[in-house]
Amino acid sequence: MKGKIIVTGGAGFIGSAIIWGLNKLGIDNILIVDHMDESLKWKNLVGLKFMDYMDKEDFLIAILDGKFNQENIHCIFHMGACSSTTERDAGFMFKNNFEYSKHLATFAIRKEIRFIYASSAATYGDGSQGFSDDHGILEKLKPLNIYGYSKHLFDLWLRRNGLLDKVVGLKYFNVYGPNEYHKGEMRSFVIKAYEQIIQTGEVKLFKSYKPEYKHGEQKRDFIYIKDAVDMTLFFFQNRKPWGIFNIGTGKAHTWNELVDAVFKALGKQARIKYIDMPVELRNQYQYFTEADISKLIKCSYKKSITSFEDAIMDYVRNYLMSDKYLTQ
């Protein structure tokens, strides 16, 4: 393969895992674009192979100044974004998640570079419109938080400008696994449950405020990072599919099932305590998400998806218990 691979958000959770996956394919001609802060996300890069690193603001300036016009770039994985679902600064989210993405997409499309970007299942809002990645329902979606809306805006911008047949957008559902350690409150509940069990011997879950859902029976489509990487790299290795695709398992599981699986991985009996949900979260809480992955399957994606219990077992026993990262 000729040409450079660029991964924005390359030190982050999904970005660093994509680099891990590229390394497994023997690819290391990679430019990482990110913003290093006081978090420990730099540890995600230790052991990975790449050619260079560039700050995200310097990279955008270089793109706008035409400094990459003569570069031979094979693909851009645009994973960089603020993914906090509790962020309230709409101006920051518009600039960081929406405006930045428009600049990169415009550059990639003009240069005919494969452009694969992270959208989000948060764009589906309360799920009342379903979870189909059919482009026809995009205009009907109403995200519940500014993170989801910033992602949705970019999806809509591409559609309204007739550009969805020139890019690949991936709506990641609830991804969990190694390399998420730096994400603080935005880490998956798998690692939070693990920590609670180690510290207190029990796990706290939010009560349900809808009669059709018992406590802990709210459902999410949880997908292991290794499966998310396999699906993402499918679009790197197959250049024909275009448009928006869901990245999930297609099967939702309850929070109770998740907690039970973590306890099982630790060889312990489950102990769950149900607590009140903060008032500020109740109006933006998703009670059910489940990816419709039929479009992905129709594009000939054939890899089997790791079973829920096996994925959590792998994460807990091979990474959390030994403090390991995805590396070579």
Least confident of 70-74, 182-186, 262-266, 283-287: 283-287
User: What domain range is 76 assigned to?
Assistant: 4-176+221-250+289-303
The answer to whether position 22 is within a domain reads yes
Catalytic residue among 183, 192, 264, 295: 183
The answer to whether position 266 is within a domain reads no
CATH number of the domain to which 231 belongs: 3.40.50.720
The answer to whether position 308 is within a domain reads no
Say which residue, 87 or 263, is predicted with more confidence. 263
pLDDT, average across residues 225-244: 96
pLDDT, average across residues 125-149: 94
- The confidence score (pLDDT) of residue 288 equals 93
Cα–Cα distance for residue pair 167/50, rounded to 1 Å: 24
pLDDT, average across residues 4-12: 97
The answer to whether position 162 is within a domain reads yes
Q: How many domains does the chain have?
A: 1
The answer to whether position 184 is within a domain reads no
DSSP string covering 304-322: PPPPHHHHHHHHIIIIITT
Catalytic residue among 100, 117, 124, 147: 147
Q: How does pLDDT run across 72-130, given as a tens digit for each residue?
A: 999 999 999 877 777 788 999 898 899 999 999 999 999 999 999 999 999 999 899 99
Cα–Cα distance for residue pair 259/264, rounded to 1 Å: 9
The answer to whether position 134 is within a domain reads yes
183 catalytic, yes or no? Answer: yes
Q: Is the pLDDT of residue 268 over 90?
A: yes
The answer to whether position 237 is within a domain reads yes
> Considering the entire predicted model, what is its pTM?
0.96
Average pLDDT across the chain, whole number: 95
Q: How does pLDDT run across 47-65, given as a tens digit for each residue?
A: 999 999 999 999 999 999 9
H helix or E strand, kind and range, residue 24:
helix 13-24
Cα–Cα distance for residue pair 176/188, rounded to 1 Å: 5
The answer to whether position 192 is within a domain reads no
What are the structure tokens assigned to 177, written together?
């696994």
Confidence of residue 328 (pLDDT cuts 50, 70, 90): low
Q: Are residues 113 and 73 in contact, defined by beta-carbon separation less than 8 angstroms?
A: yes
- pLDDT > 70: percent of the chain: 99
